[in-house]
Amino acid sequence: MSHEKQPHQHSAHPHPAAPLTPYGNRPMVTPIVHAVNYEYLNFEVLRQITDGEVDGYTYHRDDNPTVRAVEKGIAALEHAEDCVVCTSGMAACTMVYLTYLRAGGHLLLFHDIYGAHYKVSLILERLGVEVTWVDAADWQELPKHIRPHTQMIFLETPSNPLCKTVDIAAIRKMADRVDARVVVDNTFATPYHQHPLELGAHLVVHSATKALGGHNDLMAGAIAGSKEDYDKLWFTRQAIGSTLDAYSASLLERGLKTFPLRAERMAENALAVAKHLARCPGISNLRYPGLKNDEGHRIAARQMKRGFGGIMAFDVGRTQEDAKRFISALKTIRHAVSLGSTESLICIPFLTTMLYMPPERRTAFGVRPNSVRLSVGVEPLGDLLADIDQALKAPRKGLRP
């Protein structure tokens, strides 16, 4: 109902102006408006809001000023015309599927995306969407899998969890042959380093739970794109009721204020940690697009700027027990899922983020039982390197390089 009709204005800063107080001065922070509904001034105003003639708020599921402020902030970061924010990263991905896929259509997914997509793909298949999975390392083979009825190609670059790199512009050219949409999950890269819309993606999605929020204290998703896409996605969100609550939106707005600082530091720390790990005995199959010898480095250097993000993957020793001993010995780096936060987080994807997949699929694209995913935080670099060294020494007896 309450679409905002004024054109989106790009801003160099992700912080939108908060509404005016009755006295005309602006609070420094967008107020948390947790009202569910808003009083109509009169029936004419109701009509104007309903017809989209004036900006206005009527009901939280439709729109909320605190949420709207953060949407404008993320749109600015992604160089998008607009953005729809919702309750989680998976809600954002599912809203994209529900908005653009039709029964009888075909969805191309890379194995190397967040594991919960596997569950969503089962639901989509029940609704009549055909799904094909491709290894991100084979992205150049994609034309073999594109069909006349392919409606969407959904990818992550760097990918989850092995940080493989996919050429977004090349994928867009392939997609254009059948008019398919290219959707990029930019959670790993973050808009500090990568702008998928400028590289050819139609839409960008985020788990804003991760680096955009940045403090492990909120769950949110975001979809950025054109004004036309905003309208379509807004329709879906309003219909299914996945609107973010105002308190989480406020936390997210707070996270955005330090996002560039955190992203810069995470990437600096991560590059140094990756270089260090490359020299450590017992570590193999290290993947970080910032390393010059990484398979994806050439493409990543072209499509990412100011660094390569905070996430890497590597194998520890030879068995899962080796990886478990290493993780258990870490003190500064915390053993938890999620990523992109101030704290460095490490996990074994086989036992966590990929649990959603059948076991045989978990290894199909290069993830091993002893592979770990490390999300580097903003701690002092020396603390991180020392922690890795002591943890590698602690179980050295058991580590078979």
Ligand X SMILES: Cc1ncc(COP(=O)(O)O)c(C=O)c1O
The footprint of ligand X (CB under 6 A) covers 88-90, 114, 156, 160, 185, 187-188, 207, 209, 219, 221
Which CB atom, from 95 or from 219, has the smaller least distance to ligand X? Answer: 219
Which CB atom, from 194 or from 209, has the smaller least distance to ligand X? Answer: 209
Which CB atom, from 289 or from 395, has the smaller least distance to ligand X? Answer: 289
CB 337 → ligand X: shortest distance, Å? 7
185 in catalytic set: yes
Which CB atom, from 151 or from 160, has the smaller least distance to ligand X? Answer: 160
CB 221 → ligand X: shortest distance, Å? 6
Q: Which of 164, 172, 181, 210 is catalytic?
A: 210
Which CB atom, from 105 or from 221, has the smaller least distance to ligand X? Answer: 221
302 in catalytic set: no
CB 40 → ligand X: shortest distance, Å? 34
245 in catalytic set: no
Angle, CA 254 vertex, CA 182 and CA 52 arms, to 5°: 60
CB 148 → ligand X: shortest distance, Å? 29
CB 247 → ligand X: shortest distance, Å? 16
227 in catalytic set: no
Q: Which of 38, 57, 114, 118 is catalytic?
A: 114
Residue 200 CB coordination number (10 Å): 18
**C-alpha–C-alpha distance, residues 290 and 256, integer Å:** 24
Which CB atom, from 89 or from 395, has the smaller least distance to ligand X? Answer: 89
Peptide bond into 161 cis (omega under 30): yes
**C-alpha–C-alpha distance, residues 239 and 250, integer Å:** 23
Q: Which residue has the CB atom at the shortest distance from ligand X?
A: 89
Q: Which of 185, 229, 294, 315 is catalytic?
A: 185
Which CB atom, from 97 or from 114, has the smaller least distance to ligand X? Answer: 114
CB 24 → ligand X: shortest distance, Å? 38
Q: Which of 59, 61, 275, 318 is catalytic?
A: 61
Residue 43 CB coordination number (10 Å): 8
CB 161 → ligand X: shortest distance, Å? 8
Q: Which residues are catalytic?
A: 61, 114, 185, 210
